[in-house]
Structure 1
Amino acid sequence: MSALFPTYARWGIHPVKGQGAELVDASGTTYLDFVAGIAVCNLGHCHPKVNQALKDQVDKLWHVSNLFEIEQQEKVAKCLTDNSVADYAFFCNSGAEANEAAIKLARKATGKHKIVSFQKSFHGRTLGSMSATGQEKVHEGYGPLLPEFTYLPFNDEEALTKTMSEDVAAIMVEVIQGEGGVVPMTPSFARHIRSICDKYNCLLIIDEVQTGIGRTGTLFAYEQYDLVPDIITLAKGLGNGFPVGALLGQESLVDYFQPGSHGSTFGGNPLAMAAVNAVLEEVTNDSFLQSIKEKGEWLIKQLIELSNELDEIVEVRGIGLMIGIECKHEVGPMIASLREKHLLVLQAGPNVMRLLPPLIVKEEQLKQALQLISNVLKANATVVK
């Protein structure tokens, strides 16, 4: 009997090693991994440069606390701010922690407490980040949440206009709702949300935990929209599997995060920063980002062509290598069938199959996955042409 709390519905696969876009389980079976640790292993499993950076750091220094200056933090912070609209960085250990920091910073900087987020959003499972999450199933059983959060329909400009007032501290939003069904923000909504923030003097928090670090073909997904965030939150792909999160903020916010205002015991430790630095050296390369765009465009085009053949596919959505396939029926059985065929993919709600391959995935692996997905969908669909 396991001594673990049963908080996860596990798949019954026991990975023992990985390389690139492949996982090998204890029986020796190799899986094509289009989960990537839930958009974490953006550079694939055991990326040689990230591995070497951690090995080099292990023999030097693991942890000293943030009472000391940590040179690697400065290097990573400069890279992140040089490549974004932000001016300052704060390091923590996860996306939930980054979003907690964002909520605290927004409330302190504005002197206001109301925060608008969106239905089907996901921002974490700590009390504050759970309160920001617009999903009842995440809230269930935990009693009163942090007050003064309002959940609006995503991409609904009229609802946002009606709700806004001078009392709102921040709007917190994902550029693409990942857990909510891989739903991209519309360009019109992006323009509206920024103008609303300017009109009511509230902050725009963009949660890039899943979309950031190259996932959509740019370092940050907001770059593909008419958006200028005041605060950006990061995690997942930032450390390629090493636990790390970050909050990025504009210069106007620096006075509100001074000594004693916020902190993290392990945040930005030398091991995490070694991993992040190695990741950023790879991901900030323009040709690498262009390759992600090209792979994503190819795969989305192929899936749309497949949708024209099958009535099972309602819609194909996504940007870069963050792709959702909405189906007429629940996708759980189809995802289980794909696991049996040694392809790992995720759900994003009952009817959406989510593809999050490592960004270094090879062309032949994309073709292999496409064929497997096509076979499984055809087995569950009516051919319309």
Structure 2
Amino acid sequence: MSALFPTYARWNITPVKGIGSKLIDADGKEYLDFISGIAVCNLGHCHPKVVSAVEEQMKKIWHVSNLFQIEGQEQVAKHLVDHSVGDYVFFCNSGAEANEAAIKLARKSTGKHHIVSLTNSFHGRTLGSMAATGQDKIHQGFGPLLTEFSYIEMNDTHALKNAVTDKTAAIMVEVIQGEGGIRLMSEEYAEALKAICDQFGCLLIIDEVQTGIGRTGTAFAYEQLALSPDIITVAKGLGNGFPVGALIGKEHLKEAFSPGSHGSTFGGNPLAMAAAQAVLTEVFNPKLLKSVQENGEWFKLELEQKLGKYSIVEEIRGKGLMLGVACQMEVAPIIKDCMEKGLLVLPAGPKVLRILPPLVATKNELERASEILVTVFQKLEQKQSVNI
């Protein structure tokens, strides 16, 4: 009997080794891992430069606390601000923590408490980030949540205009909703966001926990909509599997996060910074980002051409190497069939198949994944035809 709380519906796979896009289980079976730890291992498993950086740091010092100057924090923070519209960085350990920090910073800096977020969003499972999440299933059973959150549909500009008032501290969004079904923000909605924030003087918080660190083909996904967020939150791909998160904020927010206003015992520790520095050096390389754009466009077109002909497929959507196959049926059996054939993918809601290859996945690996998906969908289509 397991001594673990049953908080996860675990798959019957025990991974023991990972190399690049490949995952190997305890029985020696190899899988093409197009989950990437849920958009975490953007450089694939055990990337040599990340491994080397962490090993080297382990021989020096692991932890000292944020009472001390930590050189790695300055280096990683500079990387993040140089590739974003932000000016300052706060380090933590996860996306939920980064979003908690964003909520606190928005409330403290504006003196207001109301925050607008989107239905189908996902910002974490702590009480504050859970309150920001616009999904009832995440809220159920936990009693009263942090107050003064409103939820509106993405891409509904009328709802946006009605939701924001002069008492609104911030609007908190994902430009591509990951857990919510790979739903993309429209250019029209992005323009409305900018206008509303300017009109009411509220902050724009963009959660890039899943979309950031090169996942969509640019350093951050908001760049593709010409947005200029006041606060950006990142985690997942930042450490390639080493726990690390960050909040990036603009100059005008600096005074609100003065000494004693917020903190983290482990946030920005030397090991995490060594991993993040190695990751950002690799991912923010223009050649890699260009390859993500090109491979993402090719892979999306490949899926549209090969899967789009099946009646159970409604749409292929996404950007870069963050793609979703929207289906007319629940995708749980599709995921199981893919797994049996050596491809790991996951859901984004009950009827969307989420595909998150490592950013370093080769064209051959993308082709192999496409072949497996075609085999699985073809079998399902035939089965449905027989049942009819």
Bin the TM-score by the shorter chain: over 0.9
User: In the alignment, residue 187 of structure 2 is paired with which amino acid?
Assistant: P
The match for 1:124 is 124
* 1:157-185 deviation line (CA, Å, top 9, x unaligned): 01001111101000000010000000111
User: In the alignment, residue 200 of structure 2 is paired with which amino acid?
Assistant: Y
1-side partners of 2:309 and 2:185: how far apart? 27
Give the TM-score taking structure 1 as reference length.
0.99
The match for 2:53 is 53
Written as runs of structure 1 = structure 2, the 5 A alignment for 1:127-276 is 127-276=127-276
The match for 1:9 is 9
How far apart are 1:307 and its partner, in Å?
A: 4.0
SS at 2:381 equivalent: coil
- Tell me if structure 1 keeps the 8 A contact 2:121–2:133: yes
2-side partners of 1:145 and 1:281: how far apart? 39
The match for 1:115 is 115
1-side partners of 2:234 and 2:11: how far apart? 27
User: In the alignment, residue 287 of structure 2 is paired with which amino acid?
Assistant: S
- Tell me if structure 2 keeps the 8 A contact 1:234–1:246: yes
* 1:2-31 deviation line (CA, Å, top 9, x unaligned): 000000000010000000000000110000
2-side partners of 1:276 and 1:236: how far apart? 11
The match for 2:302 is 302
Q: Report the aligned-residue RMSD.
A: 1.0
2-side partners of 1:30 and 1:308: how far apart? 28
How far apart are 1:309 and its partner, in Å?
A: 1.6
The match for 2:312 is 312
Kindly tell me: are residues 320 and 57 of structure 1, through their superposed partners in 2, closer, same or farther at Cα, counting changes over 3 Å?
same
Give the TM-score taking structure 2 as reference length.
0.98
2-side partners of 1:313 and 1:305: how far apart? 11
2-side partners of 1:309 and 1:57: how far apart? 51
1-side partners of 2:13 and 2:99: how far apart? 31
How far apart are 1:284 and its partner, in Å?
A: 1.0
1-side partners of 2:181 and 2:308: how far apart? 20
The match for 1:339 is 339
Written as runs of structure 1 = structure 2, the 5 A alignment for 1:74-89 is 74-89=74-89
2-side partners of 1:194 and 1:53: how far apart? 39
- Tell me if structure 2 keeps the 8 A contact 1:296–1:319: yes
* 1:236-271 deviation line (CA, Å, top 9, x unaligned): 000000000000000000000010000000000000
User: In the alignment, residue 180 of structure 1 is paired with which amino acid?
Assistant: G
* 1:320-353 deviation line (CA, Å, top 9, x unaligned): 0000000111110010010011100010011100
User: In the alignment, residue 92 of structure 1 is paired with which amino acid?
Assistant: C
How far apart are 1:306 and its partner, in Å?
A: 2.3
1:377 matched to 2:377? The reply is: yes
How far apart are 1:154 and its partner, in Å?
A: 1.0
1-side partners of 2:308 and 2:216: how far apart? 24
SS at 1:315 equivalent: strand
Gaps of 5+ in 1: none
Report sequence identity in percent. Answer: 62
> Could you tell which deviates more after superposition, 373-382 or 324-333?
373-382
User: In the alignment, residue 330 of structure 1 is paired with which amino acid?
Assistant: E
> Could you tell which deviates more after superposition, 373-382 or 33-42?
373-382
- Tell me if structure 2 keeps the 8 A contact 1:307–1:315: no
User: In the alignment, residue 20 of structure 1 is paired with which amino acid?
Assistant: G
How far apart are 1:308 and its partner, in Å?
A: 3.8
1-side partners of 2:309 and 2:264: how far apart? 52
User: In the alignment, residue 331 of structure 1 is paired with which amino acid?
Assistant: V
1-side partners of 2:203 and 2:346: how far apart? 32
User: In the alignment, residue 276 of structure 1 is paired with which amino acid?
Assistant: A
The match for 2:359 is 359
> Could you tell which deviates more after superposition, 246-255 or 369-378?
369-378
2-side partners of 1:121 and 1:60: how far apart? 40
User: In the alignment, residue 343 of structure 1 is paired with which amino acid?
Assistant: L
How far apart are 1:108 and its partner, in Å?
A: 0.3
How far apart are 1:380 and its partner, in Å?
A: 1.4
2-side partners of 1:324 and 1:183: how far apart? 9
SS at 1:353 equivalent: strand
User: In the alignment, residue 132 of structure 1 is paired with which amino acid?
Assistant: A
- Tell me if structure 1 keeps the 8 A contact 2:308–2:316: no
1-side partners of 2:22 and 2:88: how far apart? 36
Gaps of 5+ in 2: none
How far apart are 1:381 and its partner, in Å?
A: 2.2
2-side partners of 1:307 and 1:356: how far apart? 17
The match for 1:34 is 34
- Tell me if structure 1 keeps the 8 A contact 2:300–2:323: yes
How far apart are 1:187 and its partner, in Å?
A: 0.8
The match for 1:348 is 348
The match for 1:44 is 44
How far apart are 1:312 and its partner, in Å?
A: 1.1
2-side partners of 1:362 and 1:82: how far apart? 28
SS at 1:50 equivalent: helix
2-side partners of 1:8 and 1:147: how far apart? 28
How far apart are 1:293 and its partner, in Å?
A: 0.4
SS at 1:381 equivalent: helix
